[in-house]
């Protein structure tokens, strides 16, 4: 090869390398990778705002990891590693399609920053206390992932509601409950601080799916043994509010914490 062509080839490779580096750096620095993206608010959902406002096609542009519900409050969503499933009240597990819509949910791109080991937790309260004790700060939001074998998991899924929609505290009275013993699976969810009250669920919000894709749902109770909990600290928060459905007329001025306690934990 002539010297001038050698110089030209080196120059081309140099430019290509710089371009690829910029591209990779741009992907790594994408703000969505450090942001929780949320559809609507938990208080709107509690008040019966169940119309799906955003398709999964749009939601997944902001994250491949998260939890949600579907149009009409139809079951529970769990998404991880690019997979997304609907856990229905009849116990069936359905792969989510791009056309399915979401009235409330949270997604992100999961990249763990911290790891917590939980040797034993006899119930969900003991588990949450142990994990919270290791949080580097309680002023941030964290995405949570746990894989492994779980001695016991109790979940729920709420059946699809029809208009006029009831408040969620009433809809949850007809929820389906499922119990799983010694199953392997994945837990996906979030921990959010008190500052998000009214927008999201303060504390833990977790969904479960068995490895064989035969069961899961919103976690109501949990026993943990030798679990490695991965935490992704998320300093960014982005939310889209509905422009249609019942959202514009829903009264969001009241304190719905008692309703939330019943819906999330089954307590009065």
The 10s digit of each residue's pLDDT in 62-106 is: 999 999 999 999 999 999 999 999 999 999 999 999 999 999 999
**What's the pTM?**
0.88
Q: Which domains does the chain have, with CATH numbers?
A: 34-265 (3.30.1330.80)
How far apart are alpha carbons 242 and 240 in whole angstroms?
Answer: 7
CB 145 within 8 A of CB 188: yes
| pLDDT confidence of residue 1 | 52
**Secondary structure (DSSP) of 96-130:** PPTT-EESSEEEE-----EEEEEEEESSHHHHHHH
Q: 147-186 burial string, b = 16+ CB within 10 Å, else e?
A: beebebbbbbbbbebeeebbebbebbeebbebebeebebb
Q: Tokens 């994408």 map to which residue?
A: 30
- H or E stretch covering 134: helix 124-134
CB 44 within 8 A of CB 201: no
How far apart are alpha carbons 94 and 115 in whole angstroms?
Answer: 30
Rounded to 5°, the CA angle 197-267-71 comes to 60
Rounded to 5°, the CA angle 259-264-267 comes to 65
Q: Tokens 């809809």 map to which residue?
A: 171
Tell me the C-alpha to C-alpha distance, in Å, between residue 183 and each of 153, 168, 208, 225.
8, 29, 11, 12
CB 200 within 8 A of CB 103: no
Q: Is 112 exposed, middle or buried (0-12, 13-18, 19+ CB in 10 A)?
A: middle
**Which residue ranges of the chain lie beneath pLDDT 50?**
3, 5-29, 268
Write down the number of H helices and E strands in the chain. Answer: 6, 14
Q: Is 83 exposed, middle or buried (0-12, 13-18, 19+ CB in 10 A)?
A: middle
Q: Tokens 């069936």 map to which residue?
A: 92
How far apart are alpha carbons 220 and 201 in whole angstroms?
Answer: 14
Rounded to 5°, the CA angle 239-216-153 comes to 110
How far apart are alpha carbons 33 and 53 in whole angstroms?
Answer: 23
How far apart are alpha carbons 77 and 83 in whole angstroms?
Answer: 11
């Amino acid at each position: 090869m002539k010297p001038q062509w050698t110089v030209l080839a080196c120059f081309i490779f140099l430019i290509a390398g710089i371009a690829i580096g910029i591209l990779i750096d741009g992907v790594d620095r994408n703000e969505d990778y450090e942001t929780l993206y949320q559809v609507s608010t938990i208080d709107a959902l509690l008040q019966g705002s169940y119309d799906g406002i955003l398709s999964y096609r749009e939601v997944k542009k902001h994250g491949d990891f998260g939890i949600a519900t579907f149009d009409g409050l139809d079951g529970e969503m769990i998404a991880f590693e690019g997979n997304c499933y609907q856990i229905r009240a009849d116990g069936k597990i359905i792969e989510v399609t791009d056309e399915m819509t979401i009235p409330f949910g949270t997604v992100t791109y999961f990249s763990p920053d911290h790891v917590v080991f939980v040797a034993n937790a006899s119930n969900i309260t003991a588990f949450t206390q142990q994990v919270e004790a290791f949080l580097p700060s309680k002023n941030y939001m964290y995405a949570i992932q746990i894989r492994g074998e779980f001695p016991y998991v109790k979940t729920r899924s709420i059946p699809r509601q029809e208009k006029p929609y009831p408040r969620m505290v009433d809809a949850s009275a007809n929820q389906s409950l499922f119990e799983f013993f010694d199953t392997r699976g994945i837990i996906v969810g979030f921990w959010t601080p008190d500052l998000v009250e009214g927008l999201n669920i303060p504390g833990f919000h977790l969904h479960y799916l068995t490895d064989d894709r035969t069961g899961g749902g919103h976690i109501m109770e949990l026993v943990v043994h030798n679990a490695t909990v991965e935490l992704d600290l998320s300093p960014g928060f982005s939310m889209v509010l509905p422009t249609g459905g019942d959202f514009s007329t829903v009264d969001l001025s009241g304190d719905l914490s008692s309703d939330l306690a019943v819906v999330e934990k089954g307590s009065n």
